[in-house]
Amino acid sequence: MISRELRKFAGILFLVLPTVMYGGVSLLQLLLDDPRYPANALRQDLWRAGHAHAGVLLLLSFVVLLYLDLARPALGPAARRFVRSGVPAAAILMPAGFFLSVLDPAAREPNRLILLTYAGAVILALAILTLGIGLVRRGEADGR
């Protein structure tokens, strides 16, 4: 059974999910209606990557919530809070880096905002590692 705290957080994530869906529709509109969008392969690739990362990482956020309660005895409140918010934060930072680094339709290389993607990747890796360590420690404590 998922805790009340995580159930509430999952509800918030479900409310955010339509923004990813809207992003997909927006990309489709650009592809169909804006001749500048398909003419810039870098922008097209990075925006496609941004949309894909947003969706996949948001779904990963739901999976993480299901496992987070299982790591409860091994992870303290601060570690659980970091894991709970770290994956959704990566789902914001990484796509933001992809999108914002090539806002200009004429961009030929990403600007410095691409660093948001790297920051999101570091946070994601640390959150997932923290959860993994908590689950392994829990299993050891349970004698499994």
Domain ranges of the chain: 4-141
3: phi > 0 → left, psi -120 to 50 → alpha, else beta; which? Answer: beta
Distance CA 82, CA 125 (A): 12
pLDDT at 143: 65
Q: Is residue 115 within 8 Å of 92, Cβ to Cβ?
A: no
For residue 141, pLDDT beyond 80? no
Residues 74-86 have pLDDT tens digits of: 999 999 999 999 9
pTM of the model: 0.89
pLDDT at 2: 81
40: phi > 0 → left, psi -120 to 50 → alpha, else beta; which? Answer: beta
Distance CA 36, CA 31 (A): 9
pLDDT at 144: 58
CA dihedral 17, 20, 21, 27 (to 10 degrees): 180
pLDDT at 30: 85
CA angle (89 as vertex; 80, 112 as ends), nearest 5 = 140
Residues 102-121 have pLDDT tens digits of: 999 899 999 999 999 999 99
Q: How far is CA 141 from CA 34, 70, 74, 75, 91, in A?
A: 57, 12, 8, 12, 32
* Mean pLDDT of all residues belonging to the chain: 92
What amino acid is encoded at 5 in this protein?
Answer: E
Residues 1-29 have pLDDT tens digits of: 788 888 999 999 999 999 999 988 988 89
Q: Is residue 36 within 8 Å of 105, Cβ to Cβ?
A: yes
